[in-house]
Structure 1
Amino acid sequence: MPTFTICRENWQRFKILELADPSCHIPAQTDMVIGSDILPQILLEGIQKISAPILAQRTIFGWILSGPITKNVVVFSTQVEKCSNATLSSQLRKFWEEEEIPQPPQISPEDQACEHVYATTTTRAPNGRYIVRLPFKEEFPKKLCGPLSVCCTSAVFLVWSDRFRKKCDLATTYNNMLQEYFDLGHMEHTKPCEIIANGKYFSFYLPHHTVVNPDKVTAKVRVVYNASKHLVQENP
């Protein structure tokens, strides 16, 4: 289909043919697209060159026209937009930054130590699960110390103990989960006191609480350890 209407003078040369689409000189919506596998079945004998470079070919639907159509340009407009040097410099810098080969990230000594722990301590259990040690810092536990934690953790424990007294079913479920941790060897009993040396605390009490999600199919109740709990920074 042409992108513009062909003038009447040029169109008179093709009116001597019985065209498949008499209005094909007017831009319109495409009605049908025929694939190359069907095209040989609709072509008939007969080709005419009425006006170069337009070619007319006969089909079972009538004559079809093909070839380029150009239109003389009578108006030509140019639009100039002012571009500041700052914008051009910014775009050029962005172009070079995108095209620049990325540099490999610098690995810190802490990351290297963590990778070393993973590479040297990773094992696989008989059930197929992988086991790896926690990447404690090298100064732990001789030099690394924390704040006073037993007071804040005890306060959290008292709050949840009061809630469990009001919800006995939840308390039973939570206690069963903690007992399972003991049975699996994930937890063990310890002394209820801080480890203090030279005014520094070398023990840490981690507060925990429960989260109930009734929509879960498997674990409706789970234990959450609040390692981001704000603790008191003070000396004993």
Structure 2
Amino acid sequence: MPSQQLPSQVRAECKHLSLADPSFDTPAPVDLLLGADIFPQIWNNDNIQLGPGLPSAYSSQSLEIFPQSLAVTLSTSIESLMERFWNIEEPAAAPLDFTEDGQCETIFNSEMYRNYAGQYFVPLPFRSDSSDRLFPGMHEVALRRFYQLERKLLRDPILHNAYRAFIREYEELGHMSRSEESGDYFIPHHAIHKLVGDELKLRVVFDASAKCQAGYSLNDRLYVGPKLQQEIIDVLTGFKVKEYTLHTVTCGVNYAPYLALRVLQHIADNECDDFPAVQQTLRYQTYMDDICAGAESIVAAKILRNNLIEVLARAGLSLKKWSSNCVDLLDDLLDKDCACNPLAFDRGDGIHVLGMEWIPDTDCFTYDISAIKWSSEYLSTLQARGCWLKSQENVKLGAMVVLKDNSLPPLKWRLGRISELLPGSDGVVRVVRVLTKQGVIVRPVVKLVLLPTN
């Protein structure tokens, strides 16, 4: 102390004093701190003021001292001090190996391997050892769910045929095979379908969240894995009862997105030294199971396409459902590998990608809002008049209503809530007060439309 050399006139003013610290005007480490409990006991009630902004000399029982606090200047902002305080209080982050994400990475790196064909074999990242890999009663749970599915399929021949075709293709693709011995875990599944025009779209969902008799599921016993999925905005801008063994990572289990994307990252890190564009695409232009990429020219796009096919083929992965806003990029691909025939682009057929619909010929994304039927199907019917003589129950206090207005289309009618009932002498409510955004108004019941609240 002090933090910087004091002016020479300060020492000159104190030359006649017997100082406790002869070098009080020169910056140096602190030797002794006197607390407020000691200072009054040694002070003789005498002091010398050296001027504004300068320290004061206080007379003690034996020597002159300079209170340290008066010789200190604050050179650090309060914001910096608070930031340092919170950094000290913030606990250090746990080492990666001690986190669930780190454990999952360790299991993947230690147990993942590739076969002679280059295909990846990935482990199930169990949270702990053998006791958690037992699922008592899971065979009965899966069998019961299958019988339910079978009864549903027998009632719908079209759905039944689509389901059989899916299971047959799943087996032919090598995703599963008949089990030669009873397994430790049986995963239930069910079929989800919808009609798109005259075509039945079917998807089989495997339910790894189904709980066994012990009260836990396969998903409960597996690590989810770290989030490797890129944000969508970043991607857009840049039969009989038989037991089968699944050979591939299937949807429905919580670790599937992690393992699928982790394999692609491993390929990008280890297989793309000669293909930087492929590495960039696999890392930053992949969303779920869609690879969305482009290039500055048709030639560059073809090179990227061919390199993607080559690199992923080494790992036993084949790319399907190719689509492009340039038909030249699809001409030399097999029709079965394309999302649709390039000639169909002239009809405006859409390619579903990233939860949206891509129109290749205009190179734009669209949303299907046909399911929003409130305005088009419900409000447009409110002008229909019911039978005037039909007896109806009184309206209820608090009911949500739409206020009819013959001068406006239904989509412009106001919304309100009944705040007071005004019954007649016969007890029938024909007039009510309605609370709207503009205030409370009195309205005949016949000029209101009750909204369903269930």
Place the TM-score, normalised by the shorter chain, in its bin: 0.3 to 0.5
> Quick check: which has more Rg, 1 or 2?
1
Q: TM-score, normalised by structure 2?
A: 0.24
TM-score, length-normalised on structure 1? 0.42
Q: Which has the higher contact order (CA 8 A, sep 6+)?
A: 1
